[in-house]
Structure 1
Amino acid sequence: MDPMSLFPGGYVCSRVLGMETEVAIGLHPWERHHERPNRLSVDAEMFVPEGAAGGGIVDYDGVRDLVRGWRGRPHVEVLETLAEELLAECFRDARVAAARVRITKTQIFPEARGAGIEVFRRRKA
């Protein structure tokens, strides 16, 4: 999805890229009973239409704090659970009209740099 198609007047994108954390996550038996949690890389982007009240500056400390807080939490089955939490945090600022989050397990398969999900969502009217 090209955000320019959603914001013909332009936008400001505040982002936090490559946050790293470890979370007990996964459906596979070896993920459920693994001695080490999965290493995750997390990206969050928040799109504010150009000209929004208060400008396009978005405080992304809440996003960072949320991701840091995932370490040590109880086992999570799927990445989508974390993505929904992250999206909710992105939309706490009422000016954020759309958000994109990516969560990647970075050490899941030896033949891949990672496996994960990306979700792009517009604010519900």
Structure 2
Amino acid sequence: MRDGDLVRAVLKDVETEAHVGLHPWERHPERPTRLLVSVEMTARRTGRADRGEGILDYDPIREELRAWGGRPHTDLLETLAEELLDVCFRNPRVETASVTILKPDIFNEAAAAGVEIRRHRDSPA
């Protein structure tokens, strides 16, 4: 790769739990909702990856996801997705990011239901 190439960091289908949802059956504190979360970030490549230069660190995203089980109830998946996007854009090099959050156990007739938000750094919040 050369400087200026795009690099994309991906966390795919990270399984976590959170207290989330609007439905009455999603509001039981003893039963969090299982979630599958995918995050993608892109940036211009700078430096040499073999020296740790120009890479996108997905560890902050992973740490955020690990903390979800202990957070208070959140009504909307969109709230969780927006918070993850904020974590992505803490890295000033990130140009675009997308977050997908799926509830795989919510409806019997569907593999999953959820949301995806994609954002460019220069998009209005």
Specify the TM-score bucket, using the shorter chain as the normaliser: 0.7 to 0.9
Whether 1:28 and 2:26 are equivalent positions in the alignment is no
Structure 1 residue 34 displacement after superposition: 6.5
Q: Normalising by structure 2, what TM-score? A: 0.84
2:35 match: secondary structure? strand
Letter in structure 2 aligned against 1:46: M
Residue in structure 1 matched with residue 69 of structure 2 by the alignment: 71
Alignment of 1:74-93 (within 5 A): 74-93=72-91
Secondary structure class of the residue paired with 2:85: helix
Deviations 1:99-125 (A, max 9, x none): 011000110011111100011100037
Unaligned runs of 5+ in 2: none
Percent identical among aligned pairs is 53
- How many residues are treated as equivalent by the alignment? 117
**Does 2:4 align with 1:43?**
no
Corresponding residue of 1:104:
102
Mapped pair 1:11 → 2:6 = yes
Q: Which runs of 5+ in 1 are unaligned?
A: 1-8
d(CA) in 1 for partners of 2:69 and 2:85?
18
One-letter identity of the residue aligned with 1:109: F
TM-score by length of 1: 0.84
CA shift digits 1:64-116 (9 cap, x unpaired): 00011101211100001100110001111111001011000110011111100
RMSD: 2.1
- Give secondary structure in 2 for the equivalent of 1:97: strand
- In 2: Cα distance, 1:77 partner to 1:109 partner: 17
Tell me which amino acid in the other structure corresponds to 2:103. Answer: K
